Each structure stands twice: as C-alpha cells, then as structure tokens.
Chain A
C-alpha cells in the first residue's frame, strides 16, 4: 500500500517536471499563480492541482472571455446599505 502510494507520488512528480519543462521550452517567459491556501494544502497537492490546470489547458478546455465583471451592476459606494 505504502509502496504503491510512493510510486504514485513519484509518477506525479515526474509528470509535473516533464510537463512544465515542456511549457518553459515552448516559449513561456513567466508563470505565476493565485493560491487560496486550504489548511491541509501540501506541496505535492498544489503541484498536482497545477498539473491538472495545465492539462485542462492542453486539452483545450479554455474559453476566451472579454470580461469577468463587465455586466455587474454598480452603485455609489455610500448609497443606502
């Protein structure tokens, strides 16, 4: 059981290294992330999530948008609460 888990983690780490090496070789000059940290977040789970994110992009699961909030109604910041 422990051996299998260690093997999974090694595979995951290798997949992360290989995929992001290719990302940088492909012309990426900088990459940054916004991370909202859960209490149990580990380096391994963060890398796993970053890899999932990258693989979703690789799979074309991407929609280009012009806005995240254009349609949001606005009010005067001091108007009645």
Chain B
C-alpha cells in the first residue's frame, strides 16, 4: 500500500534530498502529476473563513476522460486563514487523491455520494461505516500525507531522542512543519512499527 509513498520519496530524494526538511509539499506536485490520473494540478488560495474544511480537490473531466479514465486537471484549493503546517498537510493530502482515486467508484461525482461522504466524515472514527470507497480514500490520503511529510526514515532516526525525552513532539512538528497532532500520532509505537513494516526497504538518508 505504501509503495506510492516510497516511490514519491525516492524521486524527491534524487531531486532535492530528503535530509533537508521540511519536505516541501509544492515540490511534490510534479511527481504526483507524473504518476496520477490528472494531467495538471493547480494550487489555489481561497478567501474564505474556514473552520473545519482545510482544503479540497476538484477534478475536471477532459474530452477523452470517458474512455481513458484520465482527467484533465485538478484544482487543490485551500483557505487563506490556516497556519502553514495545516495548509501544507491538507494540500499534500489532497494531492494524493490525484494518484490514488484511480477507479470510478473511488470518486465523488454525484450529489448522493457527496452527502454520504459528509456523513462519514462527521461520524465518530469508531463507527462501522461499511465499504464506501471515497471515504476509504480519504483516510488513505491522510496517511500518505503524513508518511510523506514526516517519513518513517526520519522518525526512526529521531526516535531515541524522543524516547529519552531529549526531543519533544512540538520541536519535531516545528522542524518538519507538520501539525503536532499528526507528529505525536506518528511516533506511537504500534503505528510506527506498522508503517515500517508496510514501507519495506527504507531509503538511506
């Protein structure tokens, strides 16, 4: 599942290096365009007072979409009133939708599906939702954003300092420009172990 992340990070390592952080969301755009199902990705800042909606991706059909499945372009739109860490994370998450929402049923293209998605996004995490591919993709994209902006490679290198108390989650969040909420979550032993296993061979930093 995380081959997507490994592949993107390998390209980023070659082009920009992975030791220098924060890993820049904007520099990921061409790698996603190369692999994704939209020809172009555009970023747009929207003048709106967001409270909960920190970004959205809107994909448009091209003339050949019906036959190829390829879409013409995607707009990743984010409100201007959020801080840098959340904006970077939200935009990165939306970018991954341009890669992973490959099948028609992964996509939200009608009102009924949009309404169902809003219900599931509000529902408690523990609620059993049944299979609804767009919601599963939402969760997957969020995970991919975290694993890209604060990769396992870096977390494993920093873990001894975190465990000893020499380094706080706040410091790591500040350096990687990732929301502290996700930083804290990403170091949970069970999660870190699972991601390490799923990534397989890690990139040498």
Bound-state CA distance A50–B159 (Å) is: 39
Contact B42 A64 (CB under 8 A): yes
Contact B52 A72 (CB under 8 A): no
Bound-state CA distance A77–B153 (Å) is: 11
The 0/1 profile, CB within 8 Å of A marked 1, for residues 31-70 of chain B is 0000000000011111111111111111111000100000
Inside 8 A of B119's CB, which chain A residues have their CB? 43
**In the complex, which of the residues A32, A61, A74 contacts B138, with contact meaning CB atoms closer than 8 Å?**
A32
Bound-state CA distance A27–B75 (Å) is: 13
Inside 8 A of B152's CB, which chain A residues have their CB? none
Contact B111 A77 (CB under 8 A): no
**In the complex, which of the residues A24, A33, A64, A69 contacts B26, with contact meaning CB atoms closer than 8 Å?**
A69
Q: Considering the complex, which residues of chain B in the window 93-115 have a beta carbon less than 8 Å from any beta carbon of chain A?
A: 93-94, 97, 101, 106-111, 114-115
Contact B52 A36 (CB under 8 A): yes
A40 to chain B, nearest CB (A): 10
Contact A37 B52 (CB under 8 A): yes
Given known pairs A34-B94, A49-B53, the reply for A65 and B45 (CB within 8 Å) is: yes
**Chain B: interface residue count, which band?**
35 or more
Q: At the interface, yes or no: B10 with Cβ under 8 Å from chain A? A: no
Interface secondary structure of A, over-half rule: mixed
Q: At the interface, yes or no: B167 with Cβ under 8 Å from chain A? A: yes
**In the complex, which of the residues B22, B97, B110, B171 contacts A74, with contact meaning CB atoms closer than 8 Å?**
B22
Q: At the interface, yes or no: B144 with Cβ under 8 Å from chain A? A: no
Among residues of A, the one whose C-beta sits closest to the C-beta of B153 is A77
Q: At the interface, yes or no: B157 with Cβ under 8 Å from chain A? A: yes
A4 to chain B, nearest CB (A): 23
CB within 8 Å of B: which residues of A?
17, 20-21, 23-24, 27-38, 41-43, 45-47, 49-50, 52-53, 56-57, 61-70, 72, 74-78, 81
14 contacts between A and B (CB under 8 A): A30-B58, A32-B56, A33-B55, A41-B122, A46-B118, A46-B122, A53-B77, A57-B46, A63-B44, A67-B43, A68-B26, A70-B24, A76-B20, A77-B158
